[in-house]
Amino acid sequence: MSIEPRPTRLPTPPGLEPRGPYTPAVRAGDFVFLSGQIGLSPETGRLADGGVQAQARQTLSNITAILTAAGLTVHDIARAVIYLSDIADWAAVNDVYEAFFDGAAVPARTAIAVTGLPLSALVEIEITALAR
């Protein structure tokens, strides 16, 4: 029986450093796990202005930056979990999500309504990708 190496912390792009005791991305075997990301602007450190769609776009932009730092692309995403502070925002976030994956295989996905997100964010997305 072979023992897999321990999870390896992956590089974090500037401005996306964690604000708590977690790692934004780790590689474990053939997978890369991204911690939940919210729509914080790396430039300002504040949530994107403009409501849930603006936050969803910024969240996906942050995810892209973290994947790029790990040598991956949107095409490597296998699964996404979307947390919404209001399930009524599902359709609006879905529009942004669908545009993000335009031309790429859409991964498996779960969407969940929650009672609150960090920093009063409206949306949070976590990703599992295949490592290269």
Contact 24, 64 (CB under 8 A): no
Q: What is the pLDDT of residue 5?
A: 75
Structurally, the chain folds into a number of domains equal to 1
Q: What is the pLDDT of residue 47?
A: 98
The pTM assigned to this predicted structure is 0.93
Q: Is residue 111 part of a domain?
A: yes
How many Cα atoms sit within 13 Å of 84 on the Cβ side? 18
Q: Is residue 73 part of a domain?
A: yes
Number of Cβ atoms within 10 Å of the Cβ of 25: 25
Q: What is the pLDDT of residue 114?
A: 98
Q: Is residue 56 part of a domain?
A: yes
CATH of the domain at 111: 3.30.1330.40
Q: Which residues of the chain are under the pLDDT cut of 70? A: 1-4
Q: Is residue 3 part of a domain?
A: no
Q: What is the pLDDT of residue 104?
A: 80
Q: Which two tokens stand for residue 17?
A: 């450093």
Q: Is residue 1 part of a domain?
A: no
Q: Is residue 5 part of a domain?
A: no
pLDDT in tens, 53-68: 999 999 999 999 999 9
Segments forming the whole domain that contains residue 81: 10-130
